[in-house]
Amino acid sequence: MTAQATYPIFCASPRRDCFVPLSSAARGSLVWSQGLGLAPEVAPLHLLSWGEQVVVVTHQQVHVHGPDGGRRWSRSRLSSTFVAARGDRLYLLNDEGELDVLGQDGGELIESSWVPMADEPGFNTTVPLFWPLPGGDEFLLAAQFMGTGAGGPPAVICYRNAIGADFGVWEHDVMGGLRLPPLYVPGTDRMLLATVEVTPVDCGQGTLGQPFAVPMSDPINWCADDSGNLYVIGTHEPQDPEQKVRGLLLALTPDGQERWRWSGSPNKVAWHRAQPPAAAADGTVFGVIAGAVLAFRDGDLAWDYEVSATAITALGDGTLLVTSGGQLLRLDPAGERMFRVDAGGPILTPPVVDGQGSVYIATDKRLVKIS
């Protein structure tokens, strides 16, 4: 699989909504390690690889670093809201809650614009799905609306909108509170909203599909492959009180039919709640539990690697990047370690890859490039 010119859109959250369709020839060589220049109380949350630049996202700012690791410019953002990159554009909500569309020199490409409903009381913009569409002038957004006043019902608001427009191309309210993060699948152009049931949204037509249930008592996180197949991790509370709670991984078709399931030993599988499963291009599905990374193929456990992982990124060549404490590891498709790099401090961001295959991570003080 050939490398793309820019890293796919990634909305400054630990979700891994789809596999990263990039390969990397990195063998664990340190290219540079540059100081982030952040205040002691500020820490990096996530990185975006954006052309030849790297975006360091903190709670209230974005800092754009050049190919040599030096900081080029910074911008304030509304605390803990989305940041996304597509092509030559960077998207974020500014301090006023308006959408900024920035070029690679930090200048505004489009005048700051209002995001419909984002300033409404009860509208939660801290964990939304935001996805700029091809061409860059329209976007998808989904976020939890907790209702206003006493007893106001919660709902998930989703819409497709043109930047700067007062009214959306389409809009839907799906009643209920989110049980899983909103999920967008580029390969099928569908958004999935998990409340009482999972509601598919055709983002091209703006129509709601047939809802389906997730057969799991406590779903924790999920991802999709590029064909729209879903992978959900969680726990299952059996109806029989004599049976034990089990960790569960479900593979579902795009319309919610079960393809396979894997159930861990009773009380032995504790999924990493902040790390979704990751679906690789070859069909392998990765998951993180306490003390190990697991790899599944067609419902069977293919291998496990003992490590206290904090984040994973699945690459298009079947390899896996893993962060653990202050170390970055790369595992081959058989689960064998290819390299291990010491970052010189605790790694706080999931690893990202640029179009040339270089890997970037950030500690509390430094931005690190590895080839």
Q: Average pLDDT per run of 10 along the chain, which is 371 residues long?
A: 32 37 81 94 90 90 95 91 85 88 94 74 69 86 72 82 87 90 87 93 95 88 87 81 74 95 75 86 88 94 95 86 96 96 94 87 95 92
The reply to whether 206 falls in a domain is: yes
Tell me 206's DSSP state.
T
State the residue for tokens 């974020």.
Answer: 92
Q: Could you give the angle at the alpha carbon of 253 between the alpha carbons of 215 and 11, nearest 5°? A: 90
**Cβ count near 240 (within 10 Å):** 6
Q: What is the pTM of this model?
A: 0.90
The reply to whether 3 falls in a domain is: no
Task: Please choose, from the candidates 76, 65, 189, 78, the residue with its C-alpha nearest in 3D space to the C-alpha of residue 124.
Answer: 78
Q: Measure the CA–CA gap between 78 and 98, rounded to whole angstroms.
A: 9
Q: By residue range, what is the domain housing residue 125?
A: 30-370
User: Structural domain tally of the chain?
Assistant: 1
pLDDT value of position 237: 72
Q: Measure the CA–CA gap between 9 and 16, rounded to whole angstroms.
A: 11
What CATH number does residue 366 fall under? 2.130.10.10
Q: How far is CA 65 from CA 40, 50, 118, in A?
A: 19, 10, 29
Q: How far is CA 55 from CA 6, 51, 359, in A?
A: 12, 10, 13
Q: Is the dihedral of CA 30, 35, 36, 41 positive or negative?
A: positive
The reply to whether 2 falls in a domain is: no
The reply to whether 267 falls in a domain is: yes
